[in-house]
Amino acid sequence: MDGAASNSRIAIDQVKYTSKGEFRPESSAIDVVRFWAGAVEYHHDEIGIGEDGIDGIQATFKNHAQEARSEIQFLPLATPLGSFISTVGAQFDHQQIDTSGDAGSLLGDARTNRSSAYFINQLWFTENFRSLLAGRIETVRLDGTSGIFPAALVPPPDNPALSLQSLGFLPKSISFKLLQDLPSWMVASALLQRIERAPTALELFAHGSHDAPGTFEIGNSNLKIETGNTAELGLQRIQGDFRFDAKAYYTYYNNFIFRQATGILCGATFATCGNGVDTGFIQTIYSQRDAIFRGTELAWQWDLVPVATGIFGIDGQYDFVRATFTDGSNVPRMPPMRLGGGAYWRADNWFVRMGLLHAFGQSDLGINDTPTAGYNLLQMRIENTEYWRNSPWGPTLITTGLVGENLLDVDVRNSVQFHKDEILQPGRSIKFFMNAKFGAEPPAEKAQGGYYKGPTGSGAPMFYKAPLLLAWSWAGPYLGLNLGYSAGKSKTDATFSDATAGTPLFATGSSDKLNGAIGGVQAGYNWQAGNWVSGLEADIQMSGQGATPNYVCPGAVCNPAAGFDAPVTANFVQGHHLDWFGTVRGRFGTAITPDGMAYATGGLAVGAIRTTVNLSGVGFDADGNPGVITAPVSVLAIKPGWTVGAGLEGRLFGNVTGKVEYLYMDFGTLSGSFTNGLTATPITLTTNSRITDNIVRAGINYKFNPAVRGYELPGIPLIYKDPKSPPYGAPIVTAWSWAGPYVGVNAGHSAGKSKTDTMFSDASAGTALFAAGSSDSLNGVIAGFQGGYNWMASSWLVAGIEADVQLSTQNTTPTYICPGAICSPMIGDPAPVAAAFDRWQKLDWFGTVRGRLGATVTPETMAYLTAGLAVGEIKTAGTVWGFSPVDTNGNPNVTAVAVNFYDHRTKAGWAAGAGFEPHLSGNLTGKVEYLYLDFGRVSTTASNSLNSTPIAVNFDSRVTDHIVRVGVNYKFDPIGAVYAPATGSTSPMLFKAPVLAAWTWAGPYLGGTICYSAGKSKTDTIFSDPVNGTELFATRASRQLDGAIGGAQAGYNWLAGNWLAGIEGDLNYSGQRAKLNAVCPGEVCNPALVGVIDDPSVVANSEHGQKLEWFATLRGRLGVILTPDAIAYATGGVAVGEVMTAGTVFGFDADGNPVNTIVSSHNTKAGYAAGGGIEGRLAGNWTAKIEYLYLDLGTVTTMPAPAPNSTTTTAFNSRITDNLLRIGINYKFAANDIWG
């Protein structure tokens, strides 16, 4: 918003209700039952000076949302694999969005109903190693009004037609995670998940301007479910003075939903789009494409020193992401990197923090995208938490606070990705808040006994026996779920009237079925007196019931002013829809048997009934032309009524009961009135609908005992660990040593060079025409993180290995010119050919793996030399400009023509440098480092076949780099076997520390690898006649398939004496790419065009390359133990990989007109792998390896469908082989845990 120019501001009013709690029953099966319920009533007005010059409310948004969720966590179950803990739950959500004013042009009234069921299973293999398996299935229904826009996305018409939509989705998600507790309170994790997401109402139904992000948004009702497939590695330290959480992830999206800028600018209405005058809003349309996200996230906190009654500390965060579509182009509006930090002070009751977050500018541009500047967000938070009192429901905590956001008053709304759910608003924000928490865990010194059972597994030792067995009783509170089917009726009387005079014109009606599935939750309380049971029950249900009647009034009756037969129709596209309903009922029954009950029930019912209709008729535009005019109307009514029914309920086992129930509901008469004033005869439709319902449902309840009872004296210990206690105590303090593993972050500046030789050639003949060159600065900011391991060879000599990954902003934009007389001789000097890196040559990211050798200048300072392998991704993108001698109709006309080119490749090289590192305090060190990097030569080919002389341009760049950076590291103790008692628990641990055992190679392991691969793609290109399939011409070429590779592996080893056997699987992401080019001479492939056009040759150009996207292997390993800490092994097995072939075949039709065939193919191929390696133990359970693998994926065949009328077809047969030399690191878990 423009601020002072329009006096724009936002007035927000939000009321939020939240209730959550848990109950821990006296049960031998259930640990805890949790519930959440809440509602939000949100309203905001966008106030400012409107087009009429009046300062007032211009737009209004209202959001009504309700949520209910309940879950049951069961007690641990002993299994052969370990202790198993299961949780199941269900959730229901409803959201209603209402808009008015200018907001109504963005999104009409829309609603979302969502119900889901989920599970979370934990399996503790050992005290320190566990897995998490979670799944979720949802049903999502969205109702709203979408706009129907012309294909060109510009007027006419001035306003899009509106159509009511009702869409349903069924997302399903699953996640699997492994966690390993490590020494020094660290936890390592590996995650695989597949998450499906339904589109939102805004993504489906948007059709207007949106002030907050400054966009004119066009929804897409054809959007599908978005699926994210993620692999993630994490490492976190959850206790101690220094804590951190680090993650690296790779996500492949199917049908990623994003907002694509169209290149058109608009004003506040669609009528202004593309007029060149109103340019306040960027027009965007919601689209879907497959995309790849990869990145890292790091957050840390460090408690420095005690100050007053609390602790003063600093924190920081760093994250970067690289987001591209599968063709290599960029996802729009994606800031590459964020870096932030702050200072805090915390005490028992106080928390104060101020932090600054810097987001770097976005320059990896998508289609129609523009660069955005970086921004800084300054935030402050002050809060106080006070214990108020104790009660039978637990203590009460009151938290009050003050939060300030964007204190620098920065406008960042167009500096973030459009896809974000929350668009950052311009303007600073200061909020005061207060919340009260009932049933919180009390402070230890104020806890009172006897009120509630503590959480199972917390506050060890918990030596509770199973609850005392009681005789079954129906008395007490209960909570449950139900599912059923409803067969209702909507009996409607409809009357069409003249909207001007109010005269009734035509009456009709119908009786329609109101059927659908229902599901919900219920809760109640029973009292029992002998065999008689009375109770009170309330339930809330989500409903899929709907009816779609249609009413027609003859044109002669309802639209005589049209002058011809123009009937008026009322189409209930979503009909009478029962969104949700609830009841509050009394129950009266009798216990037929001790475990069975029959009951009658009756009481109050209330439901949300929506009536949605398209009222259509013929009207006339300003020029007198007839056309159908539709008025979509949607009305939501909350109707009370009554209900009566009966049911049977029986005890299943323990405290679980099941029931079957019938209910009849009557909501009385629902009236509605709908008007279309734009038809030739303005029409009003009034409806009176009697809504009734017949429900049959089955349910399950968990009954809590009516009174809280005690437990017997301590007896049996729990069989699983105390989750709140750290697995180890604080490390024993030792003298400082440089030995051990470390992780850290760094930032710096780079001054690189790109020395480029450029050659312009005739694309048809291959003749070199002109050479140019330049030496350009490749400067920019770099930041990243590193990890490594040091060994102390003596009291002063330090050796180590270090790896780092950096994100870089380095780029350069040179331009090269070939004189027109040389490169465009048909036109001459007025038509030079220009090749410009106008979209940059850029070093996107790089990483190194280096050895370090240093000497301690003092016991706490070290100077070192370092050298090793470097790998980086270099992007080259730009435009080749030329001139065409004729226009599209063949008339002489010198016209500038441009062809874009894009290339990104991963290059290997080397790095060398030196540094100085001092010990700062505790386990924290700082460093200053210089590195020289050499990535060798990077070759890129581009062409412009539209130039008067088809031109090919080859760029050959030598890329080097000089880096100066500063960093900070946290060093972990090299050996973590001996620890003091646990400090996070007030009682003894149930397990002793692990017994130290001799090292063995046997057991499972998990790790990662990086490498550089030199592969081959031997490709036969066959040109054939598309009519009879006769082969015309064939070529063969062998191309390097080089690039960097990174991945993860897991396996298991067995030992027999000095022999080792094992199995290993790995999954790798590859940056290997090869360029494929083949030419069929015109005399062979297009003899009829020789002499008709200059060069009728057919050119197959894989400008996007042939790429090995990913590969995986499953191999056996057989080795021998050279020393107790080293093995040599051979390995072999099956391999599978995905090969992408993409490019363009430039051909002709029979008349000599250019016809291009797009090549885009993904093939998953199986093959074999064989190789060998050496692996050595580093320290503890960590090992490192060097390994060679040969891969053969066989022949990959690509046969693109030829373009219509093309004179040739093309096929590619590529033999893919690969040679990998990689290094890796593994963590080996104990084959069997041995406890003292």
**CB contact at 8 A, 494 and 507:** yes
DSSP states of 209-269 = EETTTTEEEE--TT---EEEEEEEEEEEE-SSSEEEEEEEEEEEEEEEEEEEEEEEEE-SS
Q: What's the average model confidence in pLDDT over 811-819?
A: 85
Residue 596 has pLDDT above 80, yes or no: yes
Give the span between the Cα atoms of 972 and 205, in whole angstroms: 53
Q: What's the average model confidence in pLDDT over 314-343?
A: 87
The pLDDT value recorded for residue 388 is: 67
Give the span between the Cα atoms of 944 and 1093, in whole angstroms: 17
Give the span between the Cα atoms of 951 and 760, in whole angstroms: 7
The more confident residue out of 711 and 394 is 394
The pLDDT value recorded for residue 302 is: 92
**CB contact at 8 A, 872 and 899:** no
Least confident of 377-386, 478-487, 753-762, 764-773: 764-773
* pLDDT-derived band at 234, boundaries 50, 70, 90: very high
Beta-bridge partners for 12: 44
Fold of the 984-1236 domain: Porin (2.40.160)
Residue 1164 has pLDDT above 80, yes or no: yes
The pLDDT value recorded for residue 895 is: 63
Residue with tokens 């005079």: 501
Of 101-105, 837-841, 1220-1224, highest mean pLDDT: 1220-1224
CA atoms within 13 A on the CB side of 900: 8
Q: What's the average model confidence in pLDDT over 398-402?
A: 88
Tokens of 389: 């009192």
Q: What's the average model confidence in pLDDT over 984-1001?
A: 51
Kind plus residue range of the DSSP H or E element containing 1140: strand 1126-1148
My answer on whether omega of the bond before 80 falls inside 30° of 0, hence cis, is: no
Residue 861 has pLDDT above 60, yes or no: yes
**CB contact at 8 A, 1108 and 1137:** yes
**CB contact at 8 A, 296 and 319:** yes
**CB contact at 8 A, 46 and 10:** yes
Tokens of 1160: 């885009």
The pLDDT value recorded for residue 390 is: 58
Q: Is 10-446 a domain of CATH 2.40.170?
A: yes
Residue 95 has pLDDT above 50, yes or no: yes
Give the span between the Cα atoms of 1218 and 1110, in whole angstroms: 12
Residue 343 has pLDDT above 90, yes or no: yes
**CB contact at 8 A, 264 and 299:** no
Q: Is 476-703 a domain of CATH 2.40.128?
A: yes
Read off the amino acid at residue 334.
Answer: M
Give the span between the Cα atoms of 628 and 581, in whole angstroms: 37
Give the span between the Cα atoms of 796 and 226, in whole angstroms: 56
The pLDDT value recorded for residue 645 is: 96
pTM for this predicted structure:
0.45
Tokens of 267: 């004003």
Q: For the chain, give every domain's residue range.
A: 10-446, 476-703, 743-972, 984-1236
For 1202-1217, the pLDDT digits (tens) are: 877 888 989 888 899 9
DSSP conformational letter for 708: -
Q: Counting Cβ atoms within 10 Å, is residue 15 exposed (0-12), middle (13-18) or buried (19+)?
A: exposed
The helix, strand and coil proportions of the chain, stated in percent and rounded to the nearest 5, come to 5, 70, 30
* pLDDT-derived band at 1235, boundaries 50, 70, 90: very low
* pLDDT-derived band at 1, boundaries 50, 70, 90: very low
Give the span between the Cα atoms of 263 and 78, in whole angstroms: 61
Tokens of 1011: 């490498």
My answer on whether omega of the bond before 461 falls inside 30° of 0, hence cis, is: yes
Least confident of 259-263, 834-838, 1122-1126: 834-838
**CB contact at 8 A, 954 and 940:** yes
The pLDDT value recorded for residue 1064 is: 94
Q: What's the average model confidence in pLDDT over 721-728?
A: 36
Centroid of chain to Cα 870:
30
Tokens of 999: 């090292």
Residue with tokens 């870089």: 808
The pLDDT value recorded for residue 708 is: 37
Q: Counting Cβ atoms within 10 Å, is residue 980 exposed (0-12), middle (13-18) or buried (19+)?
A: exposed
CA atoms within 13 A on the CB side of 92: 21
* pLDDT-derived band at 450, boundaries 50, 70, 90: very low
Q: What's the average model confidence in pLDDT over 148-169?
A: 87
Closest CA to 770 of 814, 813, 834: 834
Q: Counting Cβ atoms within 10 Å, is residue 70 exposed (0-12), middle (13-18) or buried (19+)?
A: buried
Tokens of 584: 């509050």
Length of the chain: 1236
DSSP conformational letter for 731: B
